[in-house]
Amino acid sequence: MTEVVLGILGILLLILSIIVVRSSSALAAVTLMSAISLTASLCFVLVAALDVALTEVILGAGFVTAFYLRAIGETRGSGND
């Protein structure tokens, strides 16, 4: 059963990655990258790598997403200088 779920999550990761690459909106791409990180975390939980899953959630879905959103906000606001 775990192999089936991992296979489905792997396909979902592939689909989300393709959508990110084809996305024309930076905000949508960042949101989807966060979803990729959360999906990867689920894969890590299923293979009992809880420490890696926690690190992926904190860094991938948390810190990196916040960093990219801040960068997008800064670049959109810099046109008034």
Q: How does pLDDT run across 13-40, given as a tens digit for each residue?
A: 999 999 999 999 999 999 999 999 999 9
pLDDT band at 76 (very low <50, low <70, confident <90, very high): confident
Q: Other C-beta atoms within 10 Å of 13: how many?
A: 17
Whole-angstrom distance, CA of residue 68 vs CA of residue 56? 16
Q: What share of the chain is helix, strand, coil (3-state, %, to 5)?
A: 90, 0, 10
Residue 79 pLDDT: 57
| Domain boundary assignment for the chain | 2-80
- Cβ atoms within 10 Å, residue 30: 20
* Cβ-proximal residues to 27 (8 Å cutoff; 6+ apart), any chain: 69, 72
60: number of CA atoms within 13 Å, CB side? 17
- Banded model confidence at residue 7, pLDDT cuts 50, 70, 90: very high
